[in-house]
Amino acid sequence: MAQRLEFHQKLVEALGSRNVYFQPPESVQLTYPCIVYERSRADSKFGDNANWMYTPRYSVTLISRNPDEPVLDVLAGMPMCTFERHFVSHNLHHDVFNIYQGV
Domain count within the chain: 1
Q: Are strands 34-47 and 20-22 parallel, antiparallel or unpaired?
A: parallel
The Cα–Cα gap between 81 and 10 comes to: 13
Average pLDDT, the chain: 92
Predicted confidence (pLDDT) per residue in 14-59, tens digit: 999 999 999 999 999 999 999 999 999 888 888 888 888 888 899 9
> Whole domain around residue 68: which residue ranges?
2-100
Per-residue pLDDT at 48 = 85
For the residues of 31-94, what is the DSSP string, one character each?
Answer: -SSEEEEEEEEEEEEEETTEEEEEEEEEEEEEEES-TT-THHHHHHTSTTEEEEEEEEETTEEE
pTM summary value? 0.89
CATH of the domain at 94: 3.30.2000.30
